Structure formats: C-alpha cells, structure tokens
C-alpha cells in the first residue's frame, strides 16, 4: 500500500481533498489499535470526526479500487 496505492495521483488527490490521514504505529498507538480492533496490517480504517468507523479496507488494494471507495465515502 505504501509503495503502490498511497503514492497514486488519484488516491493522493482524494486523501488531500477529503480526508485527514493518520498512520498508526501498532506498538506506540496500542490504545487506538485496540479501539478499532486492528488484527493485522495493512488496514485502512476510514472514520468520521467522531471516530465512528465508516469503512475498513484490509489487505492490499489496487489504487483505482481504493480511490473508488474513498470517493464513494466522500460523496455521502
């Protein structure tokens, strides 16, 4: 994800326009990892401003698929 999906131009534009990206360290951010029930990586959890989980993307996802999901959530 870090080498293929996140650097993609369309993904970057969507993230910059509609999202605040926070990367968690599984050891340093144990409370947040536990609160969201993260069992493995990679995982992307899209949450609203109140921390309510809107979507969860587990495992590798191609850039165009990831962008499609982000775009759909942003249009809600």
Residue 33, pLDDT score: 87
Q: Is the peptide bond before 54 cis (omega within 30 degrees of 0)?
A: no
Residue 61, pLDDT score: 95
Phi and psi torsions of 44, nearest 5°:
-120, 125
Answer for the pair 11, 63: CB distance below 8 angstroms, yes or no. yes
The percentage of residues in the chain with a pLDDT greater than 90, rounded to a whole number, is 57
- Summarize pLDDT for 37-60 with one digit per residue, the tens: 998 889 999 988 888 899 999 999
The domains of the chain are located at 9-71
Residue 27, pLDDT score: 86
To the question of pTM greater than 0.85 for the whole model, the response is: no
Whether residue 13 is predicted with pLDDT greater than 90 in this model: the reply is yes
């Amino acid at each position: 994800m870090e080498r293929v999906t996140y650097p993609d131009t369309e993904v970057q534009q969507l993230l910059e326009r509609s999202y605040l990206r926070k990367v968690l360290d599984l050891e340093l951010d144990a409370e947040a990892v536990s609160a969201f029930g993260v069992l493995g990586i990679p995982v992307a959890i899209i949450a609203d401003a109140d921390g309510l989980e809107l979507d969860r993307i587990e495992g590798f996802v191609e850039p165009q698929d990831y962008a499609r999901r982000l775009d759909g959530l942003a249009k809600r």
